[in-house]
């Protein structure tokens, strides 16, 4: 038997909510320096031609942070949207929305990662 308050609150903070909170906070902390790096790189490449871009992105100390930025940004986006879905979507639509969220974030990460790798290899 559950009280009305228990039905409203659900599992509470003792279950899964804390881990999502910390994963999102840690990914956002990791994204701060990577975002500064990406914006600095973008500003430094304004007006550059394609060959210069390929040369710069082909350097490991540029390509690795770019791939890390793409992966972490997609992961952070997935966690944030998943929390919104869990809070505001109910029923069968919740499962469909979670699948769509995972698919969208995966496609974004794979596409952007592929672009960075392709530029980094000079293709």
pLDDT in tens, 25-78: 999 999 999 999 999 999 999 999 989 999 999 999 999 999 999 999 999 999
pLDDT in tens, 90-118: 888 999 999 999 999 999 999 999 999 99
Pairwise CA distance, residues 118 & 58, whole Å: 9
Map tokens 């890390």 to a residue. Answer: 68
**pLDDT above 80 (res 7):** no
Q: What is the pTM of this model?
A: 0.81
Check: CB of residue 37 under 8 Å from CB of residue 69.
Answer: yes
Structural domains in the chain, CATH included, are 21-120 (1.20.1300)
Computed on alpha carbons and rounded to an integer, the radius of gyration of the chain in Å comes to: 19
Burial status of residue 69 (CB atoms within 10 A of its CB: 0-12, 13-18, 19 or more): buried
Q: If pLDDT is split at 50, 70 and 90, which confidence band does 21 have?
A: confident
Residue 120's pLDDT is what?
83
Pairwise CA distance, residues 108 & 79, whole Å: 14
């Amino acid at each position: 038997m559950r009280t009305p308050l228990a039905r409203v609150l659900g599992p509470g903070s003792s279950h899964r909510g804390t881990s999502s909170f910390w994963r999102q906070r840690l990914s956002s902390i990791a994204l701060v320096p990577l975002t500064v790096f990406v914006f600095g790189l973008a500003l430094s490449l304004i007006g550059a031609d394609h060959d210069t871009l390929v040369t710069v992105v082909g350097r490991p100390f540029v390509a690795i942070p770019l791939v890390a930025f793409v992966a972490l940004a997609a992961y952070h986006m997935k966690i944030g949207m998943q929390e919104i879905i869990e809070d505001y979507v109910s029923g069968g639509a919740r499962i469909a929305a979670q699948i769509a969220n995972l698919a969208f974030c995966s496609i974004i990460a794979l596409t952007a990662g592929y672009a960075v790798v392709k530029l980094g290899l000079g293709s």
